Amino acid sequence: MDLDTTLPVTGMTCGGCVASVKRVLEALPGVRHADVSLDAARAQVVHDPAQAPVAVLRAAIEAAGFEVPTP
């Protein structure tokens, strides 16, 4: 069963940043779709938690040079 997870993303400053975050997320096994918003500073990801748990999503975003702040 897929989950719909929203993660805050900081450090994005342009459309290229948005495209980078979307690309790294959608390249992960188990990620069905990623919607990344510069204005909202967030990534909404539909994923299979067994294949792509939140920690993996977070690590991919951070490896791309952006931050995922914890609440």
Domain ranges of the chain: 3-63
C-alpha span between 48 and 30 (Å, rounded): 5
| pLDDT tens sequence across 7-18 | 999 999 999 999
- What is 3-63's CATH number, 3.40.50.10470, 3.40.1280.10, 3.30.70.100, 3.40.980.10? 3.30.70.100
C-alpha span between 32 and 29 (Å, rounded): 8
What mean pLDDT, rounded, does the chain reach? Answer: 97
C-alpha span between 36 and 6 (Å, rounded): 9
What's the pLDDT band for 70 if we cut at 50, 70, 90? confident
The pTM assigned to this predicted structure is 0.94
Largest CA distance in the chain: 33
Q: Is there a contact between 35 and 43 (Cβ–Cβ < 8 Å)?
A: yes
Q: Is the pLDDT confidence value at 35 over 80?
A: yes
